[in-house]
Structure 1
Amino acid sequence: MDKKKQRALAQWLKGQSKLGKTWLMAAIGLAFLSGLLLIAQAALLAHILHELIVVKTDKHELWFSFFALAIVVLIRALCSWGKEQAGYRVGETVRTHVRQLIMDKLHTLGPATIHGKPAGTWASLLLEQVEEMQDFFARYLPQMAIAVLIPFIILVAVFPLNWAAGLIFLLTAPLVPFFMALVGMGAADANRRNFKALQRLSGHFYDRLRGLPTIRLFDQADAEAKHLKVASEDFRKRTMEVLRLAFLSSAVLEFFTALSVAITAVYFGFSYIGELNFGHYGTSISLFIGLFVLILAPEFYQPLRDLGSFYHAKAQAIGAAESIVNFLDSAPEHQSQGSQKIAADAVTIVAEDLEVLSPDGAILAGPMSFTIEAGKKVALVGQSGAGKTSLINALLGFLPYRGSLQMNGVELKNADLSHWRKQISWVGQNPQLFHGTVQDNIALSAPMATESDIHRVAKAAYADEFIQRLEKGYQHPVGDRATGISVGQAQRIAVARALLQNGHFWLLDEPTASLDASSERLVMTSLEHATKHTTCLLVSHRIDQLGTSDFILVMDKGKLVQNGTFESLKHQGLFAEMIQSVDRSDLDA
């Protein structure tokens, strides 16, 4: 990664910190107060030792100094605790915001883009990579200010007592950040490579985990285990590379800090034996001054050492931010939306020279022109790969397009997509049910729906009869990916969910593809009642389901090759071939 991009990413990260500015200022303020108390602590400790060793004062006479020292130590501890809490809140605020940005972007891009990458990749982006920015905001950013403020106030305290010690501090301090930057030059690149390896490993592992039954059935477990081993070994090497840089950075910082403190100690040692006679403004160097400066010496470099320790947090955050910023800045070609409201009425769809595009601008389907009149039931048919799914995604606003696609006279790219999707009742071939209860999953389309409404649509979808047999009825728990209920039951829940939304446009994408004959009959009966007076687009491979359609659109290789009624198409072209293939299948059966 070039330096220009690193600076741009660092600026983006700092820009996000404005969200937690109050907590950031609190963390810096508490650290500054702790620095002032540090000087008081050093002065009290040096005073006590000077009085006990040189003046021979009775320790009982120094009770106030001991008491004051204990109070200062306690307050410093509270300041450190408050600083950690405030720093954590900075990171928490920013992480929550960045995750929301990612979720909003995913919502905008839609499922077509999401399905283009393994689920593990998105999980890594949303979880691990956002989490890796925590220490940058919680520790590194506050430490940048602390690394300037604390050494400055220590110099202010030391210079009036001994200018030589102050000069040693001043001259040696730049060595720490200089070598820290020198060692850390490659840290951001190492972290970026590490995150890419983590994304690959996450995607690989999650996909194999989902497909484990298939892998076992085809006896490919050993082969997949070897692939996973290779991916994990690559991730291990990347991680060790990052750790080597982190340990090297820490070792360099410790060396130069120890060297600087040693120079200060040697100076005072030679001054006490009379070998050095400068830096004291013409007065003798007392034990108090020597102890005061030597106690502060490690603390002078400590903020710089901490900054160096947290420097890897900056490198981690930059490595993580690259993928996040690239994702947030990505904009599928031609995809846009406006604010025009599509009239909440029976939907008429008019497409002229429509070309459906992939997120990166490649043509997936088209050009095609067709009209779906309000209140009509239209079937969309074609072999697998014909472009049906691409067209559906365009209608839903999930894919960009060229040409014209109007809903009730409003161009879709100028429409408020959120408002448009609220008018759509959708039932797919693999309905997604979420962790919760049966009632929660039905109410997904209308969270404010009453129990009576939920029961009504469940009965209309022929779902009530099996729900009542469940142990807890509508409160029966449903696991992720419909765990705990059958495919047919899940499909009827999805139909009930669509009925509850009561949209003006019904989109049925192979709604009976995975059902047995009994479940298929129940689902189709409920859907026919629900779509009787609405605009409906049915995507199906089942020719026997198309007889009740008012109009049929036939697609092949991304093109609209036929359109018309069932009667007008059944004796010609691709549609006739599809009917004949079904008839031959029935005879073979």
Structure 2
Amino acid sequence: MDKSLEKSLTLWLKQQQTVCAGYLKLTVLFGILTGLCLLAQAYTLASVLDGLIMQQLSLLTFYPELIALLSLTIFRALLAYAKESSGFIAGKKLRAQVRQTVLNKLISLGPSFINTKPAGTWANIVLEQIEDLHDFYAKYLPAMMLAGFIPLIILAAIVPINWLSAMILLVTAPLIPLFMVLVGMGAAEANRKNFSALQQLNGHFLDSLRGLRTLILFHRQQAEIDKIANVSNDVKQRTMSVLSLAFLSSAVLEFFAAISIAILAVYFGFSFLGHLEWGSFSLLPPTEHRLSLFSGLFVLLLAPEFYQPLKDLGTHYHAKAKAIGAAESLVTLLNIQDSSLTSHITTSLIASSKASHTKIDLKTWELEANNLKVFTHDGECLLGPISFTISGQQKLAVVGASGSGKTTLVNLLLGFLPYEGSLKIQGIEFNQLDLSHWRNNLAWLGQEPQLFHGTLMDNLRLGNQTLSTEKAWELLAKANIDDFVSQHPLGLKLSIGEQAAGISVGQAQRIALARALSRDANVFILDEPTASLDSASADAITQSLTKETTAKCLLIVTHKLSQLGAMDTILVLEKGQLNSSGSYDELMAQNGLFCQLNAQTAYDIDLQTSLGLNS
């Protein structure tokens, strides 16, 4: 990973700590109190052992000290628990904040952007990668601060007793973070590659599950198993590479800590044997030139604890590398507006806090597009330049061959794509509108409507939470699905599985249409509402839609052109450009692209009928 990128990601991670700054400070405070408690423990224990061994005092003499030692042990355990708890809460708050920010960003970018990656990839980013930020805030940041405080506190306690011991600790301490960095170099890049491999595996596996029936029908299950095995092996190798770095880092830290403590032990051993008689200030009794047992025990008890914060920092350094690897995808997503859009587009449509949030009256309105261009989030032009006008009570159809830009126009009007040029409603630029207010007055049906796990009534109430049973049956009748539901034993309690499992595509389409009609909307935007239906059902639903949207705006995208006689205006798109526009009769009289599309549609219907598919 590029060093500048790694630094920018680290800076971003540290900037996010404001949401949990209070708990991070508490974590550090509890850690410092734990260190002070440790000093008191070491002092008490060294005093007791010195009195018992060197002064031959009775154990009963140290009864208060033993009670104090037990109390300090319990208090230190409570402080350690409080430190871990506050660190966990800090990580929890941070994860919740980042996850909400990411979800808000995905909502603002819309389905057109989300569909650029498999669902498994998004699940990995939103769930696993955000979870991998936890240890950075719960453990690494507190450990980094405590690694500066605790050793200095211990040094301050040791210097008055033995300056040479303090010097040994001071000289050897930098070796641990130095080798920690050397061994951990490249850990962030290894984690980034591991996350990338996990995203690929998640997306591939989820797509395989969803397409399992197709794979079996085409006898491709073994080939798919081999692909998943290859991707899994790649993830396994990358995971083991990350783990090997973590284990190597821990081993190096333990080695240098052990060497440093061994140097201290050798020094004290020679001092007690009388071969070394310097290094002590002799500020504490006894006032001999040689070290006392108390001094040696006190320093040796504190030596492991001196290195412990540094070892903790080394242990959690892996959490930093992990967080940096996870942050790359998150930062790329959150910065997409600044980096991918503004460099290509002068006027961007993005639902953000920077919008003016202007509300309009959607009962009497007019939409006017002038030299309108619509772009992907990467700046690629999908549609335009086109110009057209829609009035508040107009029936508008958008037709064209696949890939001509019909769904692109729908996604723009839903507020999910950036644009350039002018798109005004009642004279107000579209990117200045309050998108929440605009969407609350829309009823939308997509090409592939989503029904969720639950009852049929649950799915209908996604459009209107106060929907009554009577109104539900009325809507089902308008969507030409009431006969199927009434004949089912469960009726409105019919259970629908994930991805509309348990019902046909056409039935799911009509239930989703009933859900769209349940909304008290002024604008209906329907993308291929009759795509999966036979001609008779499609004609019935088209008539129902025309009647239901009287005095309201209806924008419909369709390939079935014979049903558009009731439309006020039809826009004919070709390769992202507006080919022609007018009423059904006007376009038929022109004998242009619309006539060709109409003839092709009639041929397709005849072919389906002859094959027995139109039923």
> After TM superposition, is the score higher than 0.5?
yes
* Per-residue deviation, 1:492: 3.4
Q: CA offsets per residue over residues 10-37 of structure 1, 9 Å max, x none?
A: 1111111111111111111111111111
Counterpart residue identity of residue 75, structure 2 = I
Distance 1:353 1:73 in 2: 75
Distance 2:87 2:460 in 1: 42
Counterpart residue identity of residue 515, structure 2 = R
- 1:147 is aligned to 147
Task: Give 1:199-214 correspondences, 5 Å limit.
Answer: 199-214=199-214
Q: CA offsets per residue over residues 466-493 of structure 1, 9 Å max, x none?
A: 5566565545543321234443443333
Task: Give TM-score, length-normalised by structure 2.
Answer: 0.90
Q: Please tell me whether the aligned partners of residues 349 and 416 of structure 2 are also in contact (alpha carbons under 8 angstroms).
A: no
- 1:351 is aligned to 369
Q: CA offsets per residue over residues 472-516 of structure 1, 9 Å max, x none?
A: 554554332123444344333323322232211111111121234
- 2:223 is aligned to 223
- 1:184 is aligned to 184
- 2:593 is aligned to 574
Distance 1:586 1:153 in 2: 84
Distance 1:182 1:432 in 2: 51
Distance 1:7 1:366 in 2: 40
Instruction: Identify the match of residue 323 of structure 1 among 313, 325, 329.
Output: 329
Distance 1:578 1:3 in 2: 55
Distance 1:547 1:459 in 2: 23
Any idea what SS the aligned residue of 1:361 has?
A: coil
- 1:195 is aligned to 195
Any idea what SS the aligned residue of 1:310 has?
A: helix
Q: Please tell me whether the aligned partners of residues 347 and 535 of structure 1 are also in contact (alpha carbons under 8 angstroms).
A: no
Moved more, 306-315 or 224-233: 224-233
Any idea what SS the aligned residue of 1:514 has?
A: coil
Question: Percent identity among equivalent residues?
Answer: 48
* Change in 2 beyond 3 A, CA 1:585/1:274: closer
* Per-residue deviation, 1:532: 1.9
Moved more, 196-205 or 502-511: 196-205
Moved more, 471-480 or 271-280: 471-480
* Per-residue deviation, 1:179: 1.2
Distance 2:421 2:185 in 1: 49
* Per-residue deviation, 1:271: 0.6
* Per-residue deviation, 1:388: 0.8
Does 2:292 correspond to 1:301?
Answer: no
- 2:525 is aligned to 507
Q: Please tell me whether the aligned partners of residues 201 and 228 of structure 2 are also in contact (alpha carbons under 8 angstroms).
A: yes
Q: Please tell me whether the aligned partners of residues 362 and 392 of structure 2 are also in contact (alpha carbons under 8 angstroms).
A: no
Distance 2:431 2:88 in 1: 42
- 1:310 is aligned to 316
Moved more, 464-473 or 489-498: 464-473
* Change in 2 beyond 3 A, CA 1:182/1:587: closer
* Per-residue deviation, 1:462: 5.4
Distance 2:180 2:363 in 1: 65
* Per-residue deviation, 1:575: 1.6
RMSD of the alignment, in Å?
2.2
* Per-residue deviation, 1:131: 1.0
Moved more, 314-323 or 375-384: 375-384
* Change in 2 beyond 3 A, CA 1:583/1:467: closer
Q: Please tell me whether the aligned partners of residues 476 and 482 of structure 2 are also in contact (alpha carbons under 8 angstroms).
A: yes
Distance 1:450 1:286 in 2: 87
Q: Please tell me whether the aligned partners of residues 346 and 534 of structure 1 are also in contact (alpha carbons under 8 angstroms).
A: no
Query: How many residues end up aligned between the 2 structures?
Result: 589
- 1:97 is aligned to 97
Instruction: Identify the match of residue 552 of structure 2 among 534, 540, 544.
Output: 534
Task: Give 1:48-197 correspondences, 5 Å limit.
Answer: 48-197=48-197
- 1:336 is aligned to 349
Any idea what SS the aligned residue of 1:570 has?
A: helix
Distance 2:292 2:413 in 1: 84
Distance 1:61 1:355 in 2: 90
* Change in 2 beyond 3 A, CA 1:432/1:312: same
Distance 1:515 1:583 in 2: 15
- 1:40 is aligned to 40
Q: Please tell me whether the aligned partners of residues 366 and 390 of structure 2 are also in contact (alpha carbons under 8 angstroms).
A: yes
Q: Please tell me whether the aligned partners of residues 546 and 566 of structure 2 are also in contact (alpha carbons under 8 angstroms).
A: no
Moved more, 500-509 or 309-318: 500-509
Counterpart residue identity of residue 365, structure 1 = L
Distance 2:108 2:166 in 1: 58
Q: Please tell me whether the aligned partners of residues 349 and 417 of structure 2 are also in contact (alpha carbons under 8 angstroms).
A: no
Any idea what SS the aligned residue of 1:397 has?
A: coil
- 2:262 is aligned to 262
Any idea what SS the aligned residue of 2:54 has?
A: helix
- 2:437 is aligned to 419
Any idea what SS the aligned residue of 1:532 has?
A: coil
* Change in 2 beyond 3 A, CA 1:587/1:37: closer
- 1:292 is aligned to 298
Task: Give 1:340-489 correspondences, 5 Å limit.
Answer: 340-447=358-465, 457-458=475-476, 460-461=478-479, 467=485, 473-489=491-507
Distance 1:452 1:277 in 2: 98
Q: CA offsets per residue over residues 394-423 of structure 1, 9 Å max, x none?
A: 222211222222223322122222221122
Any idea what SS the aligned residue of 2:403 has?
A: coil
Counterpart residue identity of residue 406, structure 2 = K
Any idea what SS the aligned residue of 1:430 has?
A: coil
Counterpart residue identity of residue 300, structure 1 = F
Task: Give TM-score, length-normalised by structure 1.
Answer: 0.94
Moved more, 573-582 or 287-296: 573-582
* Per-residue deviation, 1:536: 0.8
Q: Please tell me whether the aligned partners of residues 461 and 492 of structure 1 are also in contact (alpha carbons under 8 angstroms).
A: yes
Q: Please tell me whether the aligned partners of residues 462 and 526 of structure 1 are also in contact (alpha carbons under 8 angstroms).
A: no
- 2:514 is aligned to 496
Moved more, 218-227 or 173-182: 218-227
Counterpart residue identity of residue 173, structure 1 = A
* Change in 2 beyond 3 A, CA 1:300/1:585: closer
Any idea what SS the aligned residue of 1:444 has?
A: coil
Distance 1:162 1:199 in 2: 55
Q: Please tell me whether the aligned partners of residues 99 and 126 of structure 2 are also in contact (alpha carbons under 8 angstroms).
A: yes
Distance 1:468 1:54 in 2: 94
Q: Please tell me whether the aligned partners of residues 372 and 420 of structure 2 are also in contact (alpha carbons under 8 angstroms).
A: yes
Distance 2:256 2:139 in 1: 22
* Per-residue deviation, 1:52: 2.3
Q: Please tell me whether the aligned partners of residues 346 and 505 of structure 1 are also in contact (alpha carbons under 8 angstroms).
A: no
Instruction: Please list every run of 5 or more consecutive structure 1 residues that lacks an aligned counterpart in the other structure.
Output: none
Distance 1:473 1:216 in 2: 33
Distance 2:534 2:69 in 1: 80
Moved more, 421-430 or 244-253: 421-430
